[in-house]
Amino acid sequence: MTPTLALLVRLQIVFRTYIMSQLTAPGWNLVLLKAAFTPSKDLVIGDVTLDPEMGAFPLAITDSVHFTGRDPATGDLVIWLAAGAGVELLMSSDATPRQEFGWAIVETGTFAIIASKLMPAPQQVSSTDDGILNPEIGFHLPMNLMR
């Protein structure tokens, strides 16, 4: 069947509700990955190299108004996990200069990979307080998601 926008919005809402429950428990953290990787739906923790020196940002619902919405450019329905407030990961102590290649959302405790995102280009970090400001963290549900 061809869904209506009303049904797609319901899908967005139930998906958001599930994500909200996961943010509460067990919790999701945003982390940086310091080795090249290819984002995929099958990515597991053994495929990537976390950068613990850069910390972990616990994702939480800080802005319920902006938690869901619609991308004006594409029409996609969007679920934002970190919107508006800005998310920065900082180096906690001096360490070997290195590059960061992307981000992953990992489940607290198990480090199961929930999602991943590649940076447009690797970013260099080299000393304490070097920070990386993250882009939009979330999921896009396009209008042609369902048929």
In the complex, which residues of this chain contact other proteins (CB under 8 A)? 1-8, 10-11, 13-15, 17-18, 39-43, 103, 105, 112-117, 137-147
Nearest distance from residue 126's CB to other proteins, in Å?
26
Nearer to other proteins, 88 or 129 (CB): 88
Three-state secondary-structure class, residue 144: coil
DSSP codes, 70-106: E-TTT--EEEEEE-SS--EEE--S----EEEEEEEEE
Nearer to other proteins, 13 or 85 (CB): 13
Nearest distance from residue 139's CB to other proteins, in Å?
6
Nearer to other proteins, 18 or 62 (CB): 18
